[in-house]
Structure 1
Amino acid sequence: MIVGPARRHGGPRPAGARPAPGFDRRLLTPMVLGSILNPINSSMLAVALVPIGAAFGTPLSQTVWLVSALYLATAVGQPVVGRLVDMYGPRRLYLAGTALVGTAGLLGALAPSLGVLITARVLLGLGTCAAYPAAMHLIRSESSRTGSDGPSGVLSVLSIANQTMAVIGPTLGGLLVGLGGWRAVFIVNIPLSLACLVLGTLRLPRRSAGEPGRGARRTAPLDVTGMALFAATLTALMLFLMDPRPAHRYLPVLAAVAAAGFARRELRVAQPFIDLRVLGGNLPMLATFLRQLLTCTTGYAFMYGFTQWLEQERGLHASAAGLVLLPMSLAAVAASGITGRRKEIRGKLLVGSLAQIAACALLLAVRTGSPLWLLAAAAVLVGVPQGLNGLANQNALYHQADPARMGSSAGLLRTFTYLGAMSASAADAAFFPLRADTPGLHRLALFMLGTSVVLLMTVLLDRSLRRTGTAADPTPGTPPVGTTGRTMAGTTDDDGSPEQTLSCER
């Protein structure tokens, strides 16, 4: 039987000792509700971009900043807030973040201009940074408390909820726009935020298992300089991705300079924001980050590009476009629900990659007068990888990440999610410079097809996936058989010996 870290280093349980109770199910509701705030806000806006542009008299090239602003704020903020969760515990970060979501929703609902609306989206991005790392931290701490290997059912619930809301978002957004106009997609954050605050206050523990006490926190100073350099690197890179013109060629240079400073800082400081030595030795987790980037580049390019094509070229209302995407939602839910409790990861990624390739190929056959069943078929094919790939990548991360840095690792996974979303946003803007027409959709489909082929190759070439999440997989946080472990500086087992927490594929 595989046991969790609490027992792995502490020896066998004393005779007659009672086993720790199971996973605290009261945590599920606030964890799930908080973690879906980001995907639902990311996806709902897809059907609101055209109405917002019409309301403020701005073209798609400007309204796309509503997408980019949230992703930029979230990509920078997720690992930063995740590290804060690791250091100070999930409760206070969860409550502060969800409160900011409600404030941003109110600001967006009252926004008098596109600039104020973009500000509201930035605040939404920052506010939604906390809940997912907090949830992953709680799952890891509950696993330590109960002495069991990660509860796959809980991980599946979290992943299915996030995937479901990401794909239901356009349909929900279309209904909200139809009922109350585009401002409704911001107003909905107010009751969601209040629900998170109430549930978080009542149910989240003031101190989770394995969380350091106040004295321990004081001995681990926050690496503010490293966080600032990381933010500068990512901001410059993503600003270039938003508008990759020759006039902005200085941005990659700034990103490279900031990245060099970040690497120099993190390799020298005793308590780095991101331990680059350990991260560089964990090649399976780096591969998971890459797969998340490729998956989300294709998924978000379809979500925004195809939706805009439905509204502008096909002439559908926002609510009707949301209904056309409903089969994508149903396919994603079905794929996640059927495979959610299966620990095997490689098979999910293979099927998801092949489904993405098929969906992109089908888009090349779409025309303005194509029947609705063909459009729905394309949505179904995209929904399958939406349900499989995100679930597989999250479960892989749980098994590959250092338990002591689960929050920041989960934040980094979300960072690569939004790097993919930003790449998709840049692709949409490049292929739809003035309006979403059919030739532009076909060029976008070719771009998505190439990205999906690369994703498939990363799955086929990653040998570590053959055992990750299977019965042969060791306890999360320990080096897999046949790999070289990297020792975390300053981390020891209960017996005082160094604890190897991350692994590197030979």
Structure 2
Amino acid sequence: MTRLRAASRAGRRADVGFDRGLIAPMILGSILNPINSSMLAVALTPIGRWFHVSPAQTAWLVTGLYLATAVGQPVIGRLVDTFGPRPLYLTGTALVGVAGLLGVLAPSLGVLVASRVLLGIGTSAAYPASMFLLRAEADRTGMRSPSGILAALSVSNQVIAVIGPALGGLLIGAGGWHLIFAVNVPLAAACLLLGALRLPRRAAVPGSEAQGPAGPGSKARVDAAGMVLFAGMLTAFMFFLMDLPARPASGRRLLLVIAVLAGACFAVRELRAAQPFLDLRILGGNVPLLATYGRQLLAYTTSYAYLYGFPQWLTASAAGLLLLPMSASAIVVTMITGRRVEVRGKLLVGAATQIAGCAALLWAGPGSALWLLALVGVVIGVPQGLIGLANQNALYAQADPARMGSSAGLLRTFAYLGALTASAADAAFYRHGATTGGLHGLSLLLLGIAVLLLVGVLADRSLRRAGRASTS
């Protein structure tokens, strides 16, 4: 009788298709972060003029968003796991609208930076909520990993990152830099409307038959102390990675000490907590998932180091043109391979192509033809289209379904850690200017990181099953 009931439930799930109404709020929510990151790139100079501040000060507008998002993704992801995706998605997108208004009315640079921090916190909800919903829907319908929808999320983010600077330029030309903050208000309103209409009020915990975010009759608990210690540890470590010229060496060492102490307190707390923010025992035993986080860090260190470092070596006019082939290549590769669930092949090709791109930079020089440099950009774009998507699919298969939100948030955190590591590497090799020698030294470092990534992929036997065995 039990088997008949189970078969009946499976049959009912298979008859019900994936709720396509969820796709629009997922995609719209996921682009809030990249559109704000990319639009700001063209607004830093006019903002500096408006407030009469230096580029070093306006850089905090970028840093504030990165810090808030890196810390906020796993924290809000855990809240998604605990309370469900709908309340966190709606709260997060509402914060985006408030941050937009605060940015428009900001009387000083400090208030504008605060609006960016609030924006980072608000935009941290959509991705964990989307991953939670995808897993819950796959469980409900009995479908395999929704690779097509995961690819749509990736492509939408990549496209927005490409058109963001142009959109920002148009808005600034039409009404000044205030409009790049004002645009968040209608975007947030659209997210709130779609979320209220289409997101389920109660979502089953992925991997469970229980209805409701925490199951029937259970009391949801939030490990606030663990979240605070995690935020302190990560913030101190990220400030340590940042290259701030005015900061003495002793200050940097102090940040590292604070990060280590906060990390130790965090580990003790999480190992003792009944319902920890991050279950370190489960996470430590999930070696394939830890390997995915490691790949994310390595891959994004290389990608961002190229994205930040290569344009500095080029002339301003050539930089914009030569980054377009990279973006176009990444988008095309994602669109072609996105529906394929298999993970290992994408990672192998991506890592090998990343090695080829880094090696090609060793021959770049003042006399290099622009078409050759553009070709290098095309090569570098291939792993950007493959590795991020493959890691996303791997995480979907490897993460504890009941902790999908926090696991997805951590994946984004490791990408941001890669971005900050890349920024520190660029600063170290360009300490005396963006010279050809500095570019070659940076390329050697990135070549070593790319080789390490390939070795890690080859050594990870679990990747042979990830994707093929990814059922929901």
> TM-score if structure 1 supplies the norm length?
0.83
Q: Say which SS state the counterpart of residue 8 (structure 2) adopts.
A: coil
User: Alpha-carbon deviations, 1:92-147, whole Å to 9, x = none?
Assistant: 11111112222223333444544333222211211110000000010011112112
Q: Is contact 1:356–1:382 with CA below 8 Å preserved after alignment?
A: yes
What is the distance in 2 between the residues matched to 1:54 and 1:28?
40
Verify: 1:246 aligned to 2:249, yes or no.
yes
> Which residue of 1 is the match for residue 396 of structure 2?
398
TM-superposed CA distance for 1:465, in Å, is 1.1
TM-superposed CA distance for 1:178, in Å, is 6.2
- For 2:186, the aligned partner's letter is P
Structure with greater proportional helix content: 2
- For 1:221, the aligned partner's letter is R
> Which residue of 1 is the match for residue 135 of structure 2?
140
TM-superposed CA distance for 1:306, in Å, is 3.1
Q: Is contact 1:47–1:173 with CA below 8 Å preserved after alignment?
A: yes
Q: Say which SS state the counterpart of residue 300 (structure 2) adopts.
A: helix
- For 2:454, the aligned partner's letter is L
Match of 2:411 among 390, 410, 413: 413
What is the distance in 2 between the residues matched to 1:73 and 1:96?
16
Identity of aligned residues (%): 64
Verify: 1:130 aligned to 2:128, yes or no.
no
What is the distance in 1 between the residues matched to 2:4 and 2:256?
45
> Which residue of 2 is the match for residue 351 of structure 1?
349
What is the distance in 2 between the residues matched to 1:398 and 1:16?
23
Verify: 1:260 aligned to 2:264, yes or no.
yes
Q: Is contact 1:170–1:325 with CA below 8 Å preserved after alignment?
A: no
- For 1:94, the aligned partner's letter is Y
Verify: 1:195 aligned to 2:195, yes or no.
no
- For 2:32, the aligned partner's letter is L
Q: Is contact 1:173–1:322 with CA below 8 Å preserved after alignment?
A: no
What is the distance in 2 between the residues matched to 1:15 and 1:403?
18
TM-superposed CA distance for 1:149, in Å, is 2.6
What is the distance in 2 between the residues matched to 1:159 and 1:34?
12
Gaps of 5+ in 1: 1-6, 477-506
Q: Is contact 1:175–1:322 with CA below 8 Å preserved after alignment?
A: no
User: Alpha-carbon deviations, 1:42-85, whole Å to 9, x = none?
Assistant: 34444544555566565554444333221111111111100111
User: Alpha-carbon deviations, 1:458-505, whole Å to 9, x = none?
Assistant: 1122111122112xx2646xxxxxxxxxxxxxxxxxxxxxxxxxxxxx
Q: Is contact 1:38–1:128 with CA below 8 Å preserved after alignment?
A: yes
User: Alpha-carbon deviations, 1:158-204, whole Å to 9, x = none?
Assistant: 23323443455455555655666555543433332222122112211
Provide closer, same or farther for how the CA distance between residues 350 and 44 of structure 1 changes in structure 2, counting only shifts above 3 A. farther
What is the distance in 2 between the residues matched to 1:97 and 1:305?
33
User: Alpha-carbon deviations, 1:429-476, whole Å to 9, x = none?
Assistant: 334458655554444333333322222221122111122112xx2646
Gaps of 5+ in 2: 206-210
> Which residue of 2 is the match for residue 305 of structure 1?
309
Q: Is contact 1:68–1:422 with CA below 8 Å preserved after alignment?
A: no
> TM-score if structure 2 supplies the norm length?
0.88
What is the distance in 2 between the residues matched to 1:106 and 1:35?
20
Does 189-198 or 104-113 show the bigger shift?
104-113
User: Alpha-carbon deviations, 1:237-276, whole Å to 9, x = none?
Assistant: 1111113752220111111111111111111111111110
Match of 2:276 among 260, 265, 272: 272
> Which residue of 2 is the match for residue 490 of structure 1?
none
Does 341-350 or 8-17 show the bigger shift?
8-17
Superposed counterparts of 1:359-370, under 5 Å: 359-367=357-365, 370=368
> Which residue of 2 is the match for residue 315 of structure 1?
316
> Which residue of 2 is the match for residue 468 of structure 1?
466
TM-superposed CA distance for 1:407, in Å, is 0.6
Verify: 1:207 aligned to 2:205, yes or no.
no
Q: CA RMSD in A?
A: 2.9
What is the distance in 2 between the residues matched to 1:93 and 1:303?
32
Provide closer, same or farther for how the CA distance between residues 474 and 444 of structure 1 changes in structure 2, counting only shifts above 3 A. closer
